[in-house]
Structure 1
Amino acid sequence: MASIKVILWKHDKKKDGTCPIAIRVTKDRKTRYIFTGKYIHAKDWNEDTRLVKKSHPNSKRLNNLLLKKLTEAHDMVLEVETKEKSQSVSSIKKKIVGETKKDFFQVSEIFLANLLKRKKFNQHYNQEKRLEIFKTFLGRQELSFTDLDVTLLKGFEAHLLYERKVAPRTAVNYLMLIRTIYNFARKEFSVDDKNYPFGKGKIQIKFPETEKIGLNIEEVQLLETVTEITLAQQQAVNVWLTSFYFAGIRVGDVLKLKWSDFKDGRLYYRMGKNKKLVSLSVPEKAKHILNSYIDNKEHKDDLIFPFLKGTSLKNEKQTETRVKTITRNLNRRLEIVAEKLKIEKKLSMHIARHSFGNISGDKIPIQMLQKLYRHSSITTTVNYQQNFMHKETDDALEKVINF
């Protein structure tokens, strides 16, 4: 028999400090949550009775609603388990949820809460902001899936491109988010497919090609030999070069490097993005930078670069927030350095990865580049590296016009 309880989900608070009320369904040690769309402060929740305290101004109405939903859930579970001997907790949840109509923004709240549970803090922050912009465009806080049609989405896309002046790739990110939440609703809440606005003849999401331009050898050498810059600017250059020397590892991973990550002339670390374990030989140029920080080393688990000092790396949300702030500061300093060196290309931390791709070009076998980039699929490597492999097309062009 499945266990059903009403709980206050304290893991995800809104900006006003309120938490969502959910129905928890447990069977065979597996649990699913059905969110009611109602929010209250923790001080107004009675953990013993699992009801809203009288201190809440709408306690009576909310408790009547919760008891009604709880009764409906129990009745549905009893009916399902009577008719069908074997039912998973997911299928029971779908049966219960199928009895109620879900609003797009109600599902969005659950989607966002799931991002937090998976500790995708940056993604949660960005997606929450996009949904707020979508709400502002609509001028309301509610949206039925029936109203979420092709006409509305085309209007929103035009609003993003021509009124908010966002880049085409950014507009695609908004549409992808809406599609992801819609698909989540189809899977988890049995939202009808007949009004689905995406696909052939409807809204088709196509990624515009993005320009990826990295520094060339001469420009990297300028960074390696730069003088007469401030200490803060030199620190930014050091972080950039460290990323470049290790095939463009992400700035968050560079900032979290510890002395203990280096053993027997190799770097061993776990990527922050996909948790893959990586082992790379430490180039002599990287050793030179690392040795310039050796005087600050007191313990083997100390961070090499000082930017995250005082930040608890166990607090992933705090760490991600700090990394974002530090990256903005590093990019500002790199812009100043680029101007002093008369480098006209954009210079940012992410460009270190593009620069490695640009200089490697078609000199390195694609399978080796896949290992260096830590891509799961070689297709990803091929698509990425095509931005920097120009020799064949350049030779072909010369053969045609050189007469």
Structure 2
Amino acid sequence: MATVKVVLRKKANKDGLFPLALRITKDRKTSFIHLGHNLREDEWNAAVQRVKSSHPNSKRLNNFILKKKAEASDKSIEAETQNDDVSVKAIKRKVKPVTGATFVPQAQLYLDRLREAGNFNVYATEKCRLKIFKDFAGGHDIAFSDITVGLLEKFRRYLKAERKIRDRTVMNYLILVRAVFNQAIKEGVLDKKYYPFGGDDKINIKLPESSKIGVSLEDVVKLETVVLSNPTHDHARNLWLISFYFAGMRISDVLRLRWSDFQNERLHYTMGKNNKVGSLKVPEKAQLILKKYEPLKAAPDDLVFPNLKGLDFKNTFEIKRKIAYAVNRCNKVLQEYITPIAQIQGKLTTHLARHTFATLAGDKVPLQMLQKLYRHSDVRTTIGYQSAFTYKDPDEALEAVIGST
């Protein structure tokens, strides 16, 4: 249980006066909050925590002290009620939130934590979005209290009208600003009264529905059969097809595949995004592609594809940075070179391999089976990929789709 006392600090200021402060103590750790008043030592009664009557404003100061001590005690109890293990510093932040806190330092802390967690893709995207918001706000730091509903509405209009950003991405910008607000409140550096999100007359974030349409069956066949003499083009095609052949495996997981993941003509791998483990039969078409890379195999546990070879996999941030680079390069090759050569209609990216599998599943694969193949935790995510999908076995479901191409 924390205790709150009013004390006179031991170190005098340049005028020889001693600062009056709240002292919060818990688990033998203390923290001080200065009250903005200074006294001579002989004007303070430490035993009863009161200003002596010899001081000309003793009555007013004592009323002020009682009020501040009561407020601090209430906030301390509130903090400990919410969390028994709350620290003395956290109690101090609860007692005296920094209402004048600014956005940019908290935004940088948010980015630093993403980087420390190794989330390169999110880090890179959010860093760009925060720069755009900062530039919109005048190119300098801004107080949280100045980020009002009105300012955010102007920011929303700016993104749509000036930067031609789609509604869903606009919502992602607002979600980012909200995340920084939430962090600041959780850290105790911002009062909730400045929160501009949720409720009446505030910013309400609702993501619009997005269509997830894959490549047509005809275009998949074109991709499979087009002659590509350039090794870089062929490699990009192989990565896309491996993703498709393994039920829309995420490209980040494709790049991490090791030869040791393949045993008895089956693929056993752990999904990088959610650490879910699964097993799939290796389709014949996938086997033909894998054989192309066998000459590069240096060890039983070697990576199948060369993009990440030689990297330190303990450095999560660097691995994700290299994956992002490889994916961007692959997408550029797919869109700028392979699409025109193969005469494929529309967009072709690595992520579309995932949506293509769902699209071609049609009525061949029931919703729950597709959820199992995709390893979605929430079936609603799967519904977003395929809204109208009778196979009891994942291998049969996979063959039903791959065999149709």
Same fold (TM over 0.5): yes
Instruction: Name stretches of at least 5 consecutive residues in structure 1 with no aligned partner.
Output: 3-26, 29-75, 390-403
Aligned to 1:203: 203
Distance 1:85 1:162 in 2: 47
Residue by residue over 1:130-181, the C-alpha shift from the partner in whole angstroms, topping out at 9 and shown as x without a partner, is: 1121111111433222221110001111111111222222211110111122
Residue in 1 that maps onto 2:287: 287
* Paired residues of 1:122 and 1:320 also in contact (CA < 8 A): yes
State the Cα deviation string for residues 109-135 of structure 1 (Å, max 9, x = none).
222222223222221222122112111
Structure 2 matches for 1:1-400, cutoff 5 A? 88-98=84-94, 99-101=96-98, 102-189=101-188, 191-201=190-200, 202-335=202-335, 336-386=337-387
TM-score of the two chains, using structure 2 as the length reference: 0.71
One-letter code of the match for 2:109? I
Q: Deviations over 1:211-258 (max 9, x none)?
A: 322112222111111114411111111110000011111111111111
Deviations 1:286-313 (A, max 9, x none): 1111112112212111111112223222
Q: What is the CA–CA distance in structure 1 between the aligned matches of 2:288 and 2:267, rounded to whole Å?
A: 14
SS in 1 for 2:350: coil
Structure 1 residues 195 and 221 mapped into 2: Cα distance closer, same or farther (>3 Å)? same
**Which amino acid in the other structure matches residue 94 of structure 1?**
A
User: 1 CA distance for matches of 2:114 and 2:194?
Assistant: 26
Q: Which amino acid is the alignment partner of residue 359 of structure 1? A: L
Instruction: Tell me, in whole angstroms, the C-alpha distance in 2 between the residues paired with 1:214 and 1:197.
Output: 38
Aligned residue type for 1:270? T
SS state at 2:267 partner: strand
Distance 1:218 1:278 in 2: 29
For the residues of structure 1 that align with 2:314 and 2:270, how far apart are their CA atoms?
14
- Matches of 1:155 and 1:85 in 2, distance apart? 39
Other structure's SS at 1:267 match = strand
- Whether the 8 Å CA contact 1:248–1:354 is kept in 2: the answer is yes
Q: CA RMSD in A?
A: 2.7
- The DSSP-based 3-state class of the residue aligned with 2:344 is coil
Is the contact made by 1:80 and 1:92 (CA closer than 8 Å) also made in structure 2? Answer: no
Indicate the structure (1 or 2) with the bigger Cα radius of gyration: 2
Q: What TM-score, normalized by structure 1, do the two folds share?
A: 0.72
Counterpart of 1:193, as a letter, is K
The 1-side partners of 2:345 and 2:83 are apart by: 63
Aligned-pair CA distance for 1:369: 0.6
Amino acid at match of 1:346: K
Q: C-alpha separation between the residues in 2 aligned to 1:358 and 1:205?
A: 29
- For 1:274 and 1:86, how far apart are their aligned partners in 2? 30
Pairwise CA distance, 1:279:
1.9
Equivalent-residue separation in structure 2 for 1:359 and 1:161 (angstroms): 34
Structure-2 change in CA distance of 1:266 and 1:92 (3 Å) = farther
For 1:134 and 1:151, how far apart are their aligned partners in 2?
A: 14
Q: How far apart in 2 are the matches of 1:379 and 1:340?
A: 37
Q: CA 1:94 to 1:384, structure 2 compared with 1: closer, same or farther past 3 Å? A: farther
Q: Which residue of 1 aligns with 2:392?
A: none
The Cα of 1:383 is off from its aligned counterpart by 2.7
| SS, match of residue 144 in structure 2 | coil
One-letter amino acid of the counterpart of residue 212, structure 2: K
Q: Is the 8 A contact 1:246 1:280 kept in 2?
A: yes
Cα distance in 2 for partners of 1:290, 1:140 equals: 50
State the aligned residue count. Answer: 315
- The alpha-carbon deviation at position 368 of structure 1 amounts to 0.5
Q: CA deviation at 1:375?
A: 0.3
Distance, in Å, in 2 between the alignment partners of 1:334 and 1:140 is 37
Looking at structure 2, the residues matched to 117 and 273 of structure 1 have their Cα atoms a distance apart, in angstroms, of 17
Q: Secondary structure at the match of 1:136?
A: helix
Shift of 1:87: 6.7
In structure 2, the gaps of 5 or more residues are 3-25, 28-71, 390-405
1:350: how far off? 0.7
* Contact 2:104/2:142, CA 8 A, preserved across alignment: yes
Identity of aligned residues (%): 43
| 1:327 to partner: Cα distance | 1.1
Deviation at 1:89, TM superposition (A): 4.6
**Aligned amino acid, residue 381 of structure 1:** T
Q: Which amino acid aligns with 2:132?
A: I
CA distance in 1, matches of 2:301, 2:284: 22
Moved more, 198-207 or 324-333: 198-207
Structure 1 residues 84 and 204: CA distance shift in structure 2, 3 A: closer
For 1:156 and 1:146, locate their aligned partners in 2 and report how far apart those are by CA, in whole Å: 16
- In the alignment, the residues of structure 2 paired with residue 228 and residue 239 of structure 1 have an alpha-carbon distance, to the nearest angstrom, of 14
Note if contact 2:117-2:317 (Cα within 8 Å) is conserved in structure 1: no
Distance in 1 between residues matched to 2:302 and 2:338, nearest whole Å? 28
> The residue matched to 1:350 in structure 2 has which SS?
helix
